[in-house]
Amino acid sequence: MNRWIVHAESFDVPMKQGVDIRDITEKLRQAVQASGVRAGTVNVTAVGSTGSVTTIEYEPGVVEDLKRAVERLAPPGLDYEHEKAWHDGNGHSHVQAALLGPSVVVPVREGRLVLGTWQQVVLINHDNRARSRRVEVTVLGVG
Chain segment 87-132, per-residue pLDDT in tens: 999 999 999 999 999 999 999 999 999 999 999 999 999 999 999 9
Tally Cβ neighbours within 10 Å of residue 68.
11
Instruction: Report the pLDDT value the prediction gives residue 14, as an integer from 0 to 100.
Output: 98
Of residues 132, 125, 113, the one with CA closest to residue 30? 113
Contact 143, 38 (CB under 8 A): yes
Show the domains of the chain with their CATH numbers: 13-142 (2.60.120.460)
* Those residues with Cβ within 8 angstroms of residue 116's Cβ, 6 or more apart along the chain or in another chain: none
* Banded model confidence at residue 1, pLDDT cuts 50, 70, 90: low
Q: Number of C-alpha atoms within 13 angstroms, CB side, residue 96?
A: 30
Tally Cβ neighbours within 10 Å of residue 47.
13
Instruction: Report the pLDDT value the prediction gives residue 2, as an integer from 0 to 100.
Output: 82
Cα(1)–Cα(135) distance, integer angstroms: 32
Q: Is-above-0.85 flag for pTM?
A: yes
Instruction: Report the pLDDT value the prediction gives residue 6, as an integer from 0 to 100.
Output: 98
Q: Which helix (H) or strand (E) element contains residue 137?
A: strand 131-142
Q: Tens digit of pLDDT for each residue in 9-66?
A: 999 999 999 899 999 999 999 999 999 999 999 999 999 999 999 999 999 999 999 9
DSSP state for residue 16 in the 8-state scheme? P
